[in-house]
């Protein structure tokens, strides 16, 4: 039986989940053994360089949506290094297995026979890599996490804009639980693309979204704000399968679909504020405001939450504009009125500070 290994990931400092891989030891034993040993750390340190031979605490330095995620530079941590358990680099074992599907594990290299510790996981079939990179495994658990990793924002040179880090890795022993619980009855995969439900049917997608909307609400009540956001974002992904509903969709389904989407945007916005993520809160509140046909009270909520986010991002004048718009819709809302007074006072205090600075400069 081929061995299985696990890799646990943090995204932006928070635990994100586990990927489990089956390694093709029957086809490429030397390559598979290298990866397995780097997952377990069983080889200790490299005698020549003193580097630890482990993936633990290394990062992903390259993510290309629709192509692959690359990681495993255990020496330089930026894509320029790497080290095998055999000392330096080792040869291409064979190219018998092709890059035919999503979730395949393959060796990164700098040319023929330069395999070290860097690897990549495919997001799609990659026939142009056949004959150049050695495929030695595939994902068996954690498909939702792989989607999440694929959708992480990147900047220059495809480098993730947040820290994407391996916090643990090791061998799943034969007969041992792999640490990834199966879906419970009524549960669905994190991403619709991996799920068997007919989410292209608006009624099916809506039912799933409402289920996770309620799960998120339960988590929020228990102040598990990160869990709540994950559940609500999952609900939105199922709604997003149908960005435009078919003409034949019943009017009541159309109305409920839109209202559920607005509520989810508003929910994520307030939870993001609790998590000190004002940029996310502002973005979600804006989506709630712009989703037709948003009701007046929901627009007021969206404007209020967007104002809180803008103020947290030191954009008080724009926040005040939102609040002034919100109070016209909901003039008796105490939260809105109190925030208007707070922001006005904050702006006035800032003006006084600026006056004092200028007076000292020209005195």
Active-site hit among 61, 133, 148, 188: 133
From residue 347, give the alpha-carbon distance in Å to each of 205, 221, 276, 315, 324: 45, 33, 21, 10, 15
Q: How many CA atoms lie within 13 A of 105 on its CB side?
A: 27
Spot the catalytic one: 18, 62, 261, 305. Answer: 62
> Which residues, at least 6 apart from 235, have a Cβ–Cβ distance to it below 8 Å?
208, 209, 210, 211, 212, 213, 216, 260, 264
Residue 67 a catalytic site member: yes
Of 119, 112, 116, the closest CA to residue 85 belongs to 116
Q: Which of 10, 34, 104, 109 is catalytic?
A: 109
For the chain, the helix, strand and coil percentages under 3-state DSSP, each to the nearest 5 = 45, 15, 40
Residues 6 or more apart in contact with residue 333 via CB below 8 angstroms: 300, 304, 326, 327
291, two tokens: 């989703």
Q: Considering 129, 236, 239, 303, which one is annotated as catalytic? A: 129
Give the whole-angstrom CA distance, residue 75 versus residue 80: 9
Quick one: how many helices (H) and strands (E) in the chain? 9, 8
- Both tokens assigned to 197: 């439900």
Catalytic residue among 6, 21, 35, 120: 120
Report CA torsion sign: 255, 292, 227, 10. Answer: positive
Q: Which of 70, 118, 230, 263 is catalytic?
A: 70
Task: Give the C-alpha separation, 45 to 54, whole Å.
Answer: 8
Answer yes or no: 133 catalytic. yes
Tokens 């009855």 identify what position?
185
What is the rounded distance in angstroms from the CA atom of residue 29 to the CA atom of residue 33? Answer: 6
Place of tokens 């005698």: 47
Contact between 37 and 53 (Cβ < 8 Å): yes
120 is catalytic: yes
Task: Quote the DSSP letter at residue 182.
Answer: P
Helix (H) or strand (E) holding 6: strand 4-11
338 is catalytic: no
Catalytic residue among 51, 67, 90, 224: 67
Among all residues, which ones are annotated catalytic?
62, 67, 70, 109, 120, 129, 133
């Amino acid at each position: 039986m081929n061995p299985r290994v696990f890799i646990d990931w943090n995204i932006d400092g928070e635990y994100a989940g586990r990927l489990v891989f089956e390694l093709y030891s029957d086809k490429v034993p030397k390559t598979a053994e290298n990866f397995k040993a780097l997952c377990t750390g069983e080889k200790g340190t490299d005698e020549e360089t003193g580097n630890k031979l482990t993936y633990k605490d290394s990062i992903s330095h390259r993510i290309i949506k629709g192509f692959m995620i690359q990681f495993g530079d255990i020496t330089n941590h930026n894509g320029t290094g790497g080290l095998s358990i055999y000392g330096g680099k080792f040869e291409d074992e064979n190219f018998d297995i092709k890059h035919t599907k999503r979730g395949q594990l393959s060796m990164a290299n700098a040319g023929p026979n330069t395999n070290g510790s860097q690897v990549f996981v495919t997001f799609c079939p990659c026939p142009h890599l056949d004959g150049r990179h050695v495929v030695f495994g595939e994902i068996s658990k954690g498909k939702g996490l792989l989607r999440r990793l694929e959708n992480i924002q990147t900047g220059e040179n495809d480098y993730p804009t947040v820290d994407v880090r391996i916090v643990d890795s090791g061998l799943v022993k034969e007969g041992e639980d792999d640490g990834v619980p199966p879906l419970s009855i009524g549960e669905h995969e994190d991403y619709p693309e991996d799920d068997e439900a007919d989410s292209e049917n608006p009624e099916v997608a809506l039912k799933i979204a409402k289920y996770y909307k309620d799960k998120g609400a339960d988590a929020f009540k228990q102040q598990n704000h990160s869990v709540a956001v994950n559940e609500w974002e999952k609900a939105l992904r199922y709604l997003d399968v149908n960005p435009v509903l078919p003409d034949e969709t019943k009017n009541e389904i159309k109305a409920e679909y839109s209202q559920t989407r607005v509520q989810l945007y508003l929910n994520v916005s307030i939870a993001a504020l609790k998590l000190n993520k004002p940029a996310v809160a502002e973005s979600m509140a804006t989506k709630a405001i712009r989703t037709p046909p948003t009701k007046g009270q929901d627009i007021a909520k969206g404007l209020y939450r967007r104002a809180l986010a803008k103020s947290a991002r030191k954009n008080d004048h724009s926040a005040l504009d939102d609040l002034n718009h919100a109070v016209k819709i909901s003039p008796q809302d105490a939260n809105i009125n109190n925030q208007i007074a707070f922001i006005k006072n904050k702006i006035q205090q800032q003006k006084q500070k600026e006056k004092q600075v200028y007076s000292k400069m020209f005195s």
